[in-house]
């Protein structure tokens, strides 16, 4: 089972710690002011449970990805990282990115840009193919900048 969450300040312990099960993720003041507090941004966490039928309460945080306004109706994701690297797999990344697409749509964005640094993650390429199938639109790539975009 896979789950995602984009917490707001009220969901955080002490206003800065995302607590889930045995996991405590302390967020920096910069992350809070850039990705948690603004209504047009998000800090998305992807979770993975191990047993079929396990709920969110038994899942572990595997991914963290950022979202903020780039300009106009465009959003940008500039950070993607593994929280528990040993637990990361392609399916958990696909689910996290599809949730990011859905969240971007609810915020009214028309395009989601992916910063070049995200492509250091080896699972991103295969996952993007499946995300493009989910959106039913091709991934646009700008070779000169290394940027890629998903039409929403």
26: β partners: 17
Q: How confident is the model at residue 55 (pLDDT cuts 50, 70, 90)?
A: confident
Q: What is the pLDDT of residues 72-120, one digit of tens each?
A: 999 999 999 999 889 999 999 999 999 999 999 999 999 999 999 999 9
Please give the pLDDT value at position 75.
98
Q: How confident is the model at residue 52 (pLDDT cuts 50, 70, 90)?
A: confident
Q: Is the pLDDT of residue 28 over 80?
A: yes
Q: Is the pLDDT of residue 50 over 90?
A: no
Cα angle value 67/113/36 (rounded, 5°)? 5
* Contact assessment for residue 82 and residue 101, using Cβ atoms and an 8 Å cutoff: no
Please give the pLDDT value at position 19.
87
Q: What is the pLDDT of residues 127-152, one digit of tens each?
A: 999 999 999 999 999 999 999 999 99
Average pLDDT, the chain: 94
How much of the chain exceeds pLDDT 90, in percent?
A: 84
Q: How confident is the model at residue 21 (pLDDT cuts 50, 70, 90)?
A: confident
Q: Which domains does the chain have, with CATH numbers?
A: 2-151 (3.40.630)
Q: Is the pLDDT of residue 57 over 90?
A: no
């Amino acid at each position: 089972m896979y789950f995602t969450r984009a917490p707001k300040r009220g969901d955080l312990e002490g206003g800065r710690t995302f607590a889930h099960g045995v996991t405590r993720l302390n967020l920096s003041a910069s992350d809070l002011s850039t990705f948690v507090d603004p209504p047009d941004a998000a800090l998305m966490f992807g979770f993975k449970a191990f047993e079929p039928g396990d709920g969110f309460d038994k899942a572990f945080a595997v991914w963290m990805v950022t979202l903020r306004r780039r300009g106009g109706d465009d959003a940008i994701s500039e950070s993607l990282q593994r929280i528990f690297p040993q637990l990361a797999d392609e399916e958990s990344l696909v689910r996290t990115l599809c949730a990011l697409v859905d969240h971007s749509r609810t915020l009214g964005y028309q395009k989601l840009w992916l910063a070049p640094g995200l492509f250091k993650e080896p699972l991103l390429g295969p996952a993007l193919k499946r995300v493009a199938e989910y959106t039913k639109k091709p991934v646009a790539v700008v070779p000169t900048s290394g940027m890629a975009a998903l039409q929403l």
